[in-house]
Amino acid sequence: MLSLSIASPSSVTLPPKPILSASSKSTFHGIRISHLCPARTALCARYVRNPSSSSSSLVVMMAKREEELKEIRTKTTEAINEEIVDLKGELFMLRLQKSARNEFKSSEFRRMRKRIARMLTVKREREIEEGINKRLSRKLDRQWKKSIVVRPPPSLKKLQEEEAAAEAKEAKEAKESA
C-alpha cells in the first residue's frame, strides 16, 4: 500500500535565497542552475558538474553559432538555397555511407542538420521581413523544391574528379610504357 503524509506548514523550512553580488556575474547570459538551487544537493550536482568550465564552453559555442549566423546572413537568398541543396545532398551521401557500413563521422549528421536549419531560419526571417505569410511561404517553398534540379553533392563531385584524374594518370602511364 502507498502511504502519504503531509507535513504541517510550520515544519517545512526553505533555505533563504542567496543575494547576488555584482562580482559573481559572468559573461554567460542564460539560466544558471546554480542560482536556482544554492545548496549543492544531489539533485543540483547532477545538472551542474563544473559550473565555471561549462558556462565558458557554452559561451564559446554560442559565439561560434553567432559567427555562423552572421556569415549566413551575409549571403543572398539564392546562395542560401544552393547551399541548402548541397548540404541535403551531403546528408544523403552520409546516409548512404552509413547504410553501406563505410567509415563516416556520425557527428556530421547533427552538424549538417543544424546548419540546414539555421539557413532555413534565416530564409524564413527574410520572408517575414518582406511580409510573406506562412501559407504563401509554404506554397513558395513547394514551388522551389519542385524546381530543384537533381545534381550530385560536392563531395561526390570531388570524388569523381579524383577518380577521373587517377584514370587519366593511369592511361598516360600506359601510353608511355607501350
Mean pLDDT confidence for 125-139:
91
pTM of the model: 0.56
pLDDT tens for 38-77 read 444 444 444 444 445 555 666 666 777 888 888 999 999 9
- Write down the mean pLDDT value for the chain: 75
The C-alpha atoms of residue 89 and residue 153 are separated, in whole angstroms, by 5
